[in-house]
Amino acid sequence: MSDPHRHDRHHRHPRHDEPTPSHGRWHRLAHRLTPHSHESADKLDPALESSARGLRALWVSLAVLGATAMAQAAVVVASGSVALLGDTVHNTADALTAVPLGVAFVLGRRAATRRFTYGYGRAEDLAGVVIVLTIAASAVLAAWTAVDRLFDPRPVAHLPAVAAAALAGFAGNEWVARYRIRVGREIGSAALVADGLHARTDGFTSLAVLLSAGGAALGWRLADPVVGLAITAAITLVLRDAAREVFRRLMDAVDPALVDRAERVLGEVPGVRGVGELRLRWIGHRLRAEVALVVDGEVTVRRAHRIAVEAEHALLHAVPRLTAALVHADPAPTPGETDPHLALAHHAGA
């Protein structure tokens, strides 16, 4: 039941129990052998809803962090605190990352075309790259400013205002971090989670500004640039984590637990004798699957088709954020014959 053109054809069926238009026996046979992907409106609507939730999270975060950064900037001008300056620059950069992510979410909602056959979900991963570069730039700026002030110490004025600005920065960033991480995990957006982790570290660096204010109040002139360098180190740690997350997504990495769950669910489908190739990949914050199943070589084409449909439904219900599955059924090999999909899977797992 293996179709030599199975990788080139991808059919969408509006209903599973509705027969396709008949153009003869051979047309029906070719249809039965074709891989199946039943992408109906009930799967597209949650995907669109997740993009809308991502956009809402971004704009709310932009408003909160923008207001926080503006308040801190006013205190920076009055006090001359380089630690608070580094925190303000980082908060501003964090707020502005909402722009590329917002563009990516909007692009991701566009329908696939004949050129971009998988749609525009990868724009979200590219936005993740922009976020990583933004974090890196803010780290460089904070480090440069702190080192400059280390060699040229200056007094910090309005210390109570600096302390208040630090607390405001922590509160704003922690609220945004919780919001972004929660929404990002719920919709499966690695870029939004990375942005949330970025905001969380910003909150802790804001608290570090309190140390600089306390040191300055005690007469230690180097407290401000030293804390500025500590903030730079914290930003670097966030940069490492965010870069790792985005790199994995660009390389089509998935949680191995998802693969284990998919294999277990497929193995429980009646009629499935084995699971060959199983591939999962993220496209933006949506998952797609490609599966080759082994079925009894004596079953009818109609029965093999039904098994493939049941396997697809089982996957869509069991794997979170999976919106499409391409399922192909191969006959079990006869004695002395090796199924190529099982052999490939065995080789990949060795």
The whole-model pTM stands at 0.64
Please classify residue 311 by burial: count the beta carbons closer than 10 Å to its beta carbon, then call 0-12 exposed, 13-18 middle and 19+ buried.
buried
Tens of pLDDT, residues 207-254: 778 777 888 777 787 877 787 788 788 778 878 888 888 888 888 889
Assign domain 42-250 one CATH number from 3.30.428.10, 3.40.50.300, 1.20.120.140, 1.20.1510.10.
1.20.1510.10
Which pLDDT belongs to residue 45?
40
Three-state DSSP string of the chain: CCCCCCCCCCECCCCCCCCCCCCCHHHHHHHHHCCECCCCHHHHHHHHHHHHHHHHHHHHHHHHHHHHHHHHHHHHHHHCCHHHHHHHHHHHHHHHCHHHHHHHHHHHCCCCCCCCCCCCCCHHHHHHHHHHHHHHHHHHHHHHHHHHHHHCCCCCCCHHHHHHHHHHHHHHHHHHHHHHHHHHHHHCCHHHHHHHHHHHHHHHHHHHHHHHHHHHHCCCCCHHHHHHHHHHHHHHHHHHHHHHHHHHHHCCCCCHHHHHHHHHHHHCCCCEEEEEEEEEEEECCEEEEEEEEEECCCCCHHHHHHHHHHHHHHHHHHCCCEEEEEEEEEECCCCCCCCHHHHHHHHHHC
Whether 123 shows a pLDDT value over 50: the answer reads yes
CA 222 from chain center: how many Å? 40
pLDDT band at 122 (very low <50, low <70, confident <90, very high): confident
Other residues' Cβ atoms within 10 Å of the Cβ of residue 171 = 14
**How far apart are alpha carbons 21 and 13 in whole angstroms?**
12
Q: What per-residue confidence (pLDDT) applies to 337?
A: 56
The reported pLDDT for the residue numbered 339 is 53
- For residue 296, the one-letter residue type is D
With a CB cutoff of 8 Å and minimum separation 6, the contacts of 168 are 68, 71, 72, 206
* Per-residue tokens: 53: 């939730």
pLDDT digits (tens, 9 = 90+) for 251-273: 888 989 999 999 999 999 999 99
Res. 47 pLDDT band, cuts 50 70 90: very low
**Per-residue pLDDT averaged across 6-32, rounded?**
39
Residue 258: CB atoms within 10 Å? 17
Fold (CATH) for 254-349: Alpha-Beta Plaits (3.30.70)
Report the phi/psi class of residue 282: left, alpha or beta, with left for phi > 0 and alpha for psi in -120 to 50. beta
Q: State how far the alpha carbon of 342 is from the alpha carbons of 2, 275, 338, in Å.
A: 14, 7, 8
The segment(s) of the chain belonging to CATH 1.20.1510.10 are 42-250
- Residue ranges, comma separated, of all CATH 3.30.70.1350 domains in the chain are 254-349
Give CA separation, 171 vs 47, 203, 205, in Å: 31, 7, 11
State the average pLDDT over residues 194-213: 76
**pLDDT surpassing 90 at residue 33:** no
Instruction: Give the model confidence (pLDDT) of 289-325 as tens digits.
Output: 999 999 998 888 899 999 999 999 999 999 988 888 9
CB neighbourhood size of 176 (10 A): 29
- pLDDT over 70, % of the chain: 80
Distance CA 342, CA 316 (A): 22
Q: How far apart are CA 78 and CA 295, in angstroms?
A: 74
**CA angle 221–227–230, rounded 5-degree value:** 150
